[in-house]
């Protein structure tokens, strides 16, 4: 068995497996009675913005430029730094396309066939483009090993996270 380790110092995201997430998709949050299949309007506007930028460079090509321009374009409130809205507890609350992830010191390890990969997200911002399951997402981001300084799409499975932390933010008006 041959082992290959690739370290991306910027980012790409981990590969995800097919996952039946019908339970997650229909789960409701009792406190707020929000259905997880009802994406907030502002999040939809963020995704509409991202769709127009795939394959294009946003701002200077830094990872956070995508989130910053998306939030500013739709008129969302944020601190102009790395608090991209209201923090969401992904373990308890719904996560939607259009939510924003901020990674700090994250290491991902995963395998594809007999090849092993390690990716580092030392300080990285991404927009959740699609929710595949409670811990499986498709990210839209730039300044990555996969898409360079243009907006690309890449999978993320939180089960592959071996080190570091992240926050999920919900855009707000």
Segment 77-125, tens digit of pLDDT: 999 888 999 999 999 999 999 999 999 999 999 888 999 989 899 999 9
Token digits for 47? 């995704």
* pLDDT (0 to 100) of residue 16: 31
* pLDDT (0 to 100) of residue 36: 83
Cα 75 from chain centroid? 20
First to last CA, the chain: 52
**What's the pTM value of the predicted model, to 2 decimals?**
0.80
Closest-CA residue to 110 (of 162, 38, 70): 162
Token digits for 76? 């969302």
Total count of domains within the chain: 1
In-domain check, residue 150? yes
Token digits for 169? 């933010």
Helices and strands per DSSP (H, E), number in the chain: 3, 9
* pLDDT (0 to 100) of residue 111: 86
Mean pLDDT of the chain: 83
For residues 67-77, give the mean pLDDT: 96
- The H or E element containing residue 22 is helix 22-26
CATH assignment at residue 142:
3.90.1720
Token digits for 139? 């990210």
Token digits for 149? 């300084």
Give me the long-range contacts of 55-60 (CB less than 8 A, separation at least 24): 55/150, 55/151, 55/152, 56/150, 56/151, 57/142, 57/149, 57/150, 57/151, 58/142, 58/151
Closest-CA residue to 63 (of 167, 150, 5, 163): 150
* pLDDT (0 to 100) of residue 156: 94
Tell which wins on pLDDT, 12 or 167.
167
pLDDT at 50 over 80: yes
Phi, psi (rounded to 5 degrees) for 115:
-100, 140
For residue 67, the tally of other CB atoms under 10 A from its CB is 27
* pLDDT (0 to 100) of residue 34: 57
For residues 61-75, give the mean pLDDT: 97
Most confident of 8-12, 36-40, 112-116, 129-133: 129-133
- The H or E element containing residue 66 is helix 63-74
* pLDDT (0 to 100) of residue 98: 98
In-domain check, residue 74? yes
In-domain check, residue 2? no
* pLDDT (0 to 100) of residue 30: 37
pLDDT at 26 over 70: no
Cα 132 from chain centroid? 11
* pLDDT (0 to 100) of residue 2: 41
In-domain check, residue 89? yes
Tell which wins on pLDDT, 168 or 28.
168
Look up the domain containing 100 and give its range: 7-170
* pLDDT (0 to 100) of residue 1: 43
């Amino acid at each position: 068995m041959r082992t290959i380790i690739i370290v991306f110092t910027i980012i790409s995201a981990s590969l995800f497996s097919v996952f039946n997430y019908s339970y997650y998709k229909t789960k409701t949050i009792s406190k707020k009675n929000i259905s997880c299949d009802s994406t907030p309007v502002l999040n939809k506007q963020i995704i509409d913005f991202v769709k127009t930028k795939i394959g294009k460079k946003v701002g200077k090509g830094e990872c956070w430029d995508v989130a910053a321009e998306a939030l500013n374009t739709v008129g969302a409130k944020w601190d102009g730094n790395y608090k991209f809205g209201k923090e969401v507890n992904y373990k308890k609350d719904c996560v939607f396309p259009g939510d924003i992830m901020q990674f700090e010191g994250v290491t991902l390890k995963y395998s594809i066939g007999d090849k092993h990969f390690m990716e580092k997200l030392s300080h990285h911002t991404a927009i959740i483009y699609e929710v595949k399951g409670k811990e499986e997402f498709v990210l839209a981001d730039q300044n990555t090993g996969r898409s360079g300084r243009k907006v690309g799409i890449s999978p993320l499975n939180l089960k592959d996270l071996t080190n570091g932390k992240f926050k999920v933010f919900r855009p707000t008006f």
